[in-house]
Structure 1
């Protein structure tokens, strides 16, 4: 039996598997448990599946660290996931009774501070360099057309193609995103994030089509950072400005400028359960 827990960061849903779990095939486990039609069922709602599984390993040093491997529903393993890191930090803070955690990812270490239900993560350095994203071009991709959509490419630990539109709610994201996500200029693909500036200053509405999920998610932390970076790069806002980014799942705060970029937002624990790791049935009893 495997002890797991379900968490969400601003609506971004993750299953967390801790140190004690012995799962030989993490990809097969993730594909089964994240399936939106037949995967893990919430005990009190009709929600099934998740946006990914976080396999965590704790090291009780000073400060405590947790190593995170993120496996997505299609079996891919991205280097970074902003809301996943925040959920990992909150889980580890509960396990270890501490507010300060460093989450180690494929994109490097991410120091985190837990304040109740809110978690702040310090992000790694952003880059528009083609070799970092990566891009099949020698020049940065800044407000250039891909399949008729003006996008800016940036890596926030994972590649994002950011497009500023008039109204994110009026866009058929499932139609416009795949041609950009699979465009030749992105040899490893890209998340597609659209945004528009809200009526209040320093606020952007967000929608993201996630690579690996192959669909829209309720929130995307790296996408929120990508919006802030692209907004600064294209002259829509100034570096050092605190931005509110509003995906469908809630609100995130992004602080840029100086020596640090931070992502802050709510994390919610949904439930704990135990599963047979060899079973294809993942219903949870109330």
Structure 2
């Protein structure tokens, strides 16, 4: 038995999209572990299972992201932008609402791609979560000086002179698995460009490796940099390896993540058929 997918990416952060209304996948975790593998599978940073609800205005799409480790992630900024583009293509609209496990987001088409209003962020230790009595700001954890924030998922953000000089595959895993993080964390490094923007690299929890882009990580860089006084730019230009993202702040104080989205190709993947009752 096979089910069709569409492959999308947002600044190199790539996903297989499966229409959850039309196709049943009994074991989503197994499919993600197999097909996200870049050697033996299609290759992706995750699988988005999307269910469209066209009766609402604007239309709504329910988004579930299953990562390469087979686990579900509550939020993904670039994944949400890809989900929005997918839903807008189907409904012929320029705005959609996205229901995620971290909250409901609004996404709008822009001249340069898709912008999504992110969930509320927090520096509160319980909301990250991190085992600490107060907010973690520029504190050393497993050899890396980090600030902790949750932008839908937890991020340990570290500002360095040059992100290209960081051996991320060596530095990040001890932080990602540190005992103070009961659910683990993403690890994001950033270096200033001198104009209020930042270069970015992120080691993603669930992918267990570096990705070409991370939307929640870009937002984490922007909000932490503003909190620590490293920039007052709005929007904040953030440049992961896969392309440029913009993080702005609307009149509700919410972060907006904007950037390009591309549809790469379509295909099919094998799944086990559902068990008949």
Q: Please report the TM-score for the alignment, with normalisation by the length of structure 1.
A: 0.91
- Provide the rounded CA distance (Å) in 2 between the counterparts of 1:236 and 1:276: 48
C-alpha contact (below 8 Å) 1:143/1:234 kept by paired residues:
no
C-alpha contact (below 8 Å) 2:201/2:241 kept by paired residues:
yes
- Provide the rounded CA distance (Å) in 1 between the counterparts of 2:267 and 2:167: 37
What is the match of residue 9 of structure 2? 8
What is the match of residue 172 of structure 1? 167
Deviation >4 Å, runs of 4+: none
- Provide the rounded CA distance (Å) in 1 between the counterparts of 2:184 and 2:28: 22
Matches within 5 A, 1:46-125: 49-60=43-54, 61-115=56-110, 118-125=113-120
- Provide the rounded CA distance (Å) in 1 between the counterparts of 2:124 and 2:75: 18
- Provide the rounded CA distance (Å) in 2 between the counterparts of 1:148 and 1:182: 13
Secondary structure at the counterpart of residue 138 of structure 1: coil
C-alpha contact (below 8 Å) 2:246/2:258 kept by paired residues:
yes
- Provide the rounded CA distance (Å) in 2 between the counterparts of 1:185 and 1:67: 32
237, 244, 249: which one pairs with 2:237?
244
What is the match of residue 186 of structure 1? 181
199, 223, 229: which one pairs with 1:229?
223
What is the match of residue 284 of structure 1? none
Q: CA deviation at 1:243?
A: 0.6
Which stretch has the larger CA shift, 64-73 or 267-276? 267-276
What is the match of residue 206 of structure 2? 212
Backbone CA RMSD of aligned residues: 1.3
C-alpha contact (below 8 Å) 1:218/1:249 kept by paired residues:
yes
1:256 to 2:256 alignment = no
Q: CA deviation at 1:276?
A: 2.9
C-alpha contact (below 8 Å) 2:196/2:230 kept by paired residues:
no
Matches within 5 A, 1:19-30: 19-30=21-32
131, 137, 140: which one pairs with 2:132?
137
Q: CA deviation at 1:277?
A: 2.1
C-alpha contact (below 8 Å) 1:117/1:268 kept by paired residues:
no
What's the CA shift string for 1:70-127, capped at 9, x where partnerless?
0000011111000000000000111111111001100100100023660000011110
Which stretch has the larger CA shift, 257-266 or 93-102? 257-266
C-alpha contact (below 8 Å) 1:168/1:195 kept by paired residues:
yes
C-alpha contact (below 8 Å) 2:197/2:231 kept by paired residues:
no
- Provide the rounded CA distance (Å) in 2 between the counterparts of 1:65 and 1:76: 24
C-alpha contact (below 8 Å) 2:151/2:216 kept by paired residues:
yes
- Counting matched residue pairs gives 269
238, 260, 274: which one pairs with 1:266?
260
